[in-house]
Amino acid sequence: MVAVAEVADSTVADALRTFAPGYVAKYHQRMPPHHRKVLGLITRCKTGELGNVMYRCETCGIRHWVGRSCGNRHCPNCQKEKTQAWLAKQTGKLLPVQHFVVTFTVPEELRPLLRAHPEVGYEAIFNAGSETIRTLLKKPKNLGSDKVGFFGVLHTWGRDLTAYHPHVHFVVPGGGVSPDGSQWLQVNKDQLFHPLPAKMLYKKLFVEAIRKAGLYDQLPHGVLKFDWVVNLKPVGDGEAVLKYLAPYVYRVAISDNRIVSVDEHGVSYKVKPSGKRVYETRRLEGESFVRAFAQHILPPGFKKIRYYGFMSPNCKLQLADARWLAWLWRGWTYWLASGMFQREPVTRKPPKCDRCGGELEVEGVTDSDGRWLWRRQLAVRGPPVARSKTTGERAAIA
């Protein structure tokens, strides 16, 4: 049997394996339990400590052992295939209309509150932002209907993982279904709604959400006078923004391809500063790198992607109905020329044998103690079994 060892440059997991154990030992009592759990899973991912998967090459018959993945949503190793699957699924949901990205963030003065109470703070951004979009689109001067659909994605970092910058990107089709459900309504080109009333409404809804959570007394004085940012940007058919968002949906803070090196003292990584076209290399001490990564770990069970209106599977108005009305509004000529009906599904390619290039098939899975959790039962043909003759057959012979 051959043990598969993947040769690669330094990764996020390498950095955490080097420095996370010491960090956890030092700050064990102060760390949230789920932070310790996440760091523990990432550092053991694909090392064999979580168990192994046994593959067999269909061509040469060589067996390969690969460490089991941790499956945690914060792990860079485990999210690459999910990213492509999500991108393909969301691309198939795009409507044939102009799309917008609406980004809601919070003033810098409120970030310590969200760091201390992340679940409350992130919920407030989602709820206040989504309600702002629905309320403004319902106004006759914008769209005149609340039968709309969109989705939002939470990010908590900036260009550098040391920055804590929670915000939500909402991807919004520039239109919706009429109140009576009979036709598609379209907003004005490049204008979903004006950002100023959006900013005014959003900050009031956010503060009210914090009040309902019992944290109003922790808000800094004059919170409504701070610089609240609501950014609206037209993005064409939406496919480009999906490709931009996809790597961030199933990734936390930093990807493996930005890690330059890991040594016994710290981590070097690449950052592209705002307004520049080239990356620059920055360095953090090991403990600082773990702390910077851990600040972006989400609360247990928190949904960082949320769907609203006809984008939600629980909505009475289905996405298929909204798409049909949008195509009728666009016209059949546009539909036939778009090639939307020719999208090919994304298929997962089987792993390849590093000896001969043949395809590998799974033969078994073990746990962390080496016990078989599942093993394929190969069909083995044995010798023929003698069958006793029946009474009728014996009589015929006689």
> 256-298, pLDDT tens digit by residue?
889 999 999 999 999 988 888 899 999 999 999 999 999 999 9
What is the longest distance spanned by two Cα atoms in the chain? 109
Question: Is residue 63 located within the same domain as residue 83?
Answer: no
Tens-place pLDDT, residues 127-158: 999 999 999 999 999 999 999 999 999 999 98
Q: 63 and 95 share a domain?
A: no
- Do residue 208 and residue 315 come from a single domain? yes
Residues 98, 135 within the same domain? yes
Q: Is residue 50 part of a domain?
A: yes
364 belongs to a structural domain: yes
Highest mean pLDDT (candidates 291-295, 312-316, 341-345, 355-359): 291-295
Q: Do 213 and 311 lie in a common domain? A: yes
170 versus 313: which is more confidently predicted?
170
Query: Do 362 and 239 share a structural domain?
Result: no
- Domain total in the chain: 2
Bridge pairing between strands 2-3 and 63-67: parallel
Taking CA 156 as the corner, what is the angle to CA 151 and CA 158, rounded to the nearest 5 degrees? 110
Do residue 29 and residue 158 come from a single domain?
no
The secondary structure of 24-86 as a DSSP string is HHHHTTTS-HHHHHHHHHHHHTTSSTT-EEEEEETTT--EEEEEPP---TT-GGGSHHHHHHH
pLDDT tens digits, one per residue of 314-328: 888 888 899 889 988
- Judgement on whether residues 247 and 309 belong to the same structural domain of the protein: yes
What integer is the mean pLDDT of 68-87?
Answer: 82
Closest C-alpha among 110, 226, 206 to residue 164: 110
Could you tell me if 15 and 111 lie in one domain?
Answer: no
Is residue 207 in some structural domain?
yes
Is residue 42 situated within a structural domain? yes
CA atoms within a 13 Å half-sphere pointing along the CA-CB vector of 241: 22
Q: β-strand 149-155 against 305-309: which pairing, if any?
A: antiparallel
Residues 52 and 156 in one domain: no
Based on the fold, state whether residues 19 and 91 are members of the same structural domain.
Answer: no
Sheet containing 372-375: give its strands across. Answer: 2-3, 63-67, 52-57, 360-366, 372-375
Same domain, 122 and 149: yes
Domain interval for residue 51:
2-73+349-375
Q: Identify whether 284 is part of a domain.
A: no
Q: Is residue 172 assigned to a domain?
A: yes
β-strand pairing of 372-375 with 175-177 = unpaired
